[in-house]
């Protein structure tokens, strides 16, 4: 279980969240919803300690408080965050970036190309994108597919996806949803989405409803 205890988030002198408390269970898919600008992405960025914000409180994950660590160390704790607007990295070829990440997190790296070729076919990924700079000049949907390849290559335990369905064709999102459904028993998964019908593909366990510094949980069985 991931425990969020008295979490406060500030940006300069603006208090965005003040002493909020909730918890996240393993083997569940949570979908975080709320109005535009309410702070969904800001709240999720607390798990990776985004340097644009100031944090107080505790985020207990695997018996450590993530508040005490910087983003690069948190990534080594098997925490993965896919941004709403995926980061672009100039002068680093996409295939090189993905292979280096795969080598870091996998002892046996001889299957990289077989592995990535299998999944690129499943999400209709254009192989030409491998030889461009990482996410540079990609469309929104292409960036989301690239984030998914990154996700499967490093196989994290705690997965946060910010609007992973945005810009994706139906077949690609159908496959990604099935993949998340398949792996959820051993993962913590939170998805930010504006799509209330996302549960038609994802095995959603709970909705997290964010309203002005308040958090409510609703079972996926309820009509929201």
> Residue 195's pLDDT is what?
78
Least confident of 8-17, 102-111, 163-172: 102-111
Examine the pLDDT at 217 and tell me if it is beyond 60: yes
Angle between helices 170-183 and 140-154 (to 10 degrees): 20
The residues spanned by each domain of the chain are: 2-219
Candidates 148, 153, 34, 135; CA nearest to 85 is 135
pLDDT tens by residue, 33-51? 888 888 899 999 999 999 8
For the chain, what percent of residues have pLDDT higher than 90?
Answer: 57
* All residues at 6 or more sequence positions from 142 whose CB lies less than 8 Å from its CB, including other chains: 125, 126, 129
Residue 53 predicted with pLDDT over 60: yes
Query: Quick one: tokens of 73?
Result: 């160390």
**Residue 29 confidence (pLDDT):** 94
Residues with Cβ within 8 Å of 183's Cβ and at least 6 positions away in sequence, in order, are: none
pTM: 0.89
| Rounded average pLDDT over 152-173 | 90
Q: What is the CATH number of domain 2-219?
A: 3.40.50.300
């Amino acid at each position: 279980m991931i425990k969020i205890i008295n979490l406060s988030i500030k940006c300069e002198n603006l208090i965005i969240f003040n002493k909020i408390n909730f918890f996240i269970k393993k083997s569940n898919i949570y979908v975080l919803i709320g109005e535009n600008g309410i702070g969904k992405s800001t709240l999720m960025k607390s798990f990776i300690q985004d340097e644009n914000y100031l944090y107080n409180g505790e985020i207990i994950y695997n018996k450590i408080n993530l508040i005490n660590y910087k983003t690069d160390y948190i990534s080594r704790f098997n925490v993965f965050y896919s941004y709403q607007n995926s980061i672009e990295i100039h002068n680093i070829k996409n295939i090189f970036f993905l292979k280096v990440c795969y080598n870091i997190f996998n002892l046996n790296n001889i299957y990289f190309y077989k592995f990535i070729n299998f999944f690129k076919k499943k999400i209709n990924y254009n192989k030409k994108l491998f030889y461009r700079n990482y996410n540079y000049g990609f469309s929104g949907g292409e960036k989301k597919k690239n984030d998914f390849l990154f996700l499967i290559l490093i196989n994290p335990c705690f997965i946060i996806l910010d609007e992973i369905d945005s810009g994706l064709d139906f077949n690609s999102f159908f496959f990604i949803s099935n993949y998340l459904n398949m792996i959820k028993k051993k993962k913590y998964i939170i998805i930010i989405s504006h799509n209330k019908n996302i549960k038609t593909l994802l095995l959603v366990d709970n909705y997290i409803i964010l309203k002005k510094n308040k958090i409510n949980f609703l079972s996926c069985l309820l009509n929201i």
